[in-house]
Amino acid sequence: MSTVQTSSDAPGREERVHLQTYARQPITLISGHGCWVTDDAGREYLDLVAGIAVNVLGHSHPAVAEAVARQAATLVQVSNLYYTLPQLELAEELVSRSPFDRAFFTNSGTEANEAALKLARRHGGERGAHEVVSLVGSFHGRTFGSLAATGQPTYQAPFAPLPPGFRHVTPNDVDQLDATVTDATCAVLLEPIMGEGGVHPLTDEFLIAARAACDRVGALLILDEIQTGVGRTGTFFAFEQTPIVPDAVTLAKGLAGGIPIGALLVRERAAAFKIGDHGTTLGGNPVSCAAGLATLHVIDTDDLMANARARGAQLVEALAKLLADGVLAEVRGRGLMLGLETAKPIARAAVAVARDHHGLLINATGDSTIRLVPPLTIGADEVDLAVERLEAALADAGSAT
């Protein structure tokens, strides 16, 4: 058995050769299995981050490993000049489990949103509508179109001017939404639960108003389910737990169990692209799509959406004690996408102490918000252990302030 080599010089090496754009945690991860990852010193961590809501099957799932290896040994990439069966089968699979009629595959979430934005402009162009309405505090990605839709000035300001035609409204403010959606609007783009913004679910009332506003002017309602999709909230799409059906959704993150992929799914009436309107060299390549098919298969056969609901409920129940004790002010979210509001601004300190002293990886989306997005495969015992470790980390972080 090979021994894990310590490479604690990774931060220094990275600082010399990588563009300095990531505020990385000071650990180097070498391997992973299920809900656990191991660092270069052989320390094990229970992972409630899962590659930022990506590894729905956990780490190194044999079905993904086998699908990737098999497809890599058969056909890796031929571009979209030709038909390939894994892409076709993944499109058929996604269409069959959704109200959508067509798919377009990309390599990432932000590219899926770029595709959605271009589709909305193409659709709206027929009646001269070009504006996209999204939310203050939203996150849609880092490329220019997605960044313009993202409602967070800190990400946007250094890159101004951004593409024009993007308007932002306050989440759950129906009157503001109604006033902002006009004949100039080609799409309303919403995360059903704002993820990077701190795990804030939109109200049913707001979603119904968004659907009605889009129908009023002929705009597309597009949901960014890049973080909420692929079973994370306990249903395949988060919108299945709401009264609305969008015209299009974007997916990415967990869709191929950790292999890069993104997807735009659209209903026929929104399928405005014509031949040549959009494209990508690697998007929908056979390896990513084979991993996607394997991931969907395991989600079904292992009933992982039911597990997401059960383990999510278990987490919420166990966290009630921390709410009662006044350590947490709020627990929100659905399934295995939870946001914990700490009573004191100790979220970032808790992340560090959990990692360094309690073998637990968690993530902070703000000074007082901890996000839990573990693999959908997490077991009941692992949830108990995670809560035990989280409680200890919050106590340590609280007493240090």
Ligand X SMILES: Cc1ncc(COP(=O)(O)O)c(C=O)c1O
Give the footprint of ligand X on this chain (CB under 6 A).
52, 108-110, 113, 139-141, 191, 195-196, 224, 226-227, 252
What is the smallest separation between the CB atom of 317 and ligand X, expressed in angstroms?
A: 26
Q: Which residues pair with 193 in a beta bridge?
A: 201
| Tokens describing residue 11 | 């931060």
Residue whose CB is less far from ligand X, 224 or 396: 224
> What is the C-alpha separation between 395 and 226, in angstroms, rounded?
33
Listed in sequence order, the residues at least 6 apart from 385 whose beta carbon sits closer than 8 Å to its beta carbon are 46
What is the smallest separation between the CB atom of 111 and ligand X, expressed in angstroms?
A: 7
What is the smallest separation between the CB atom of 190 and ligand X, expressed in angstroms?
A: 10
Beta carbons within 10 angstroms of residue 64's beta carbon:
24
Residue whose CB is less far from ligand X, 226 or 308: 226
Residue whose CB is less far from ligand X, 332 or 344: 332
Q: Provide the 3-class DSSP secondary structure of residue 56.
A: coil
Q: Report the residue number whose CB is nearest to ligand X.
A: 109
What is the smallest separation between the CB atom of 75 and ligand X, expressed in angstroms?
A: 24
Residue whose CB is less far from ligand X, 257 or 393: 257
> What is the C-alpha separation between 388 and 382, in angstroms, rounded?
10
Residue whose CB is less far from ligand X, 113 or 288: 113
Name residue, tokens 């601004």. Answer: 345
Residue whose CB is less far from ligand X, 52 or 329: 52
What is the smallest separation between the CB atom of 398 and ligand X, expressed in angstroms?
A: 28
Residue whose CB is less far from ligand X, 134 or 358: 134
Classify residue 2 by its DSSP letter. Answer: P
> What is the C-alpha separation between 298 and 61, in angstroms, rounded?
10
Q: In what order do the strands lie in the sheet with 328-334?
A: 328-334, 337-342, 369-372, 363-366
What is the smallest separation between the CB atom of 140 and ligand X, expressed in angstroms?
A: 5
Q: Provide the 3-class DSSP secondary structure of residue 73.
A: coil
What is the smallest separation between the CB atom of 171 and ligand X, expressed in angstroms?
A: 13
Classify residue 40 by its DSSP letter. Answer: T
Beta carbons within 10 angstroms of residue 182's beta carbon:
15
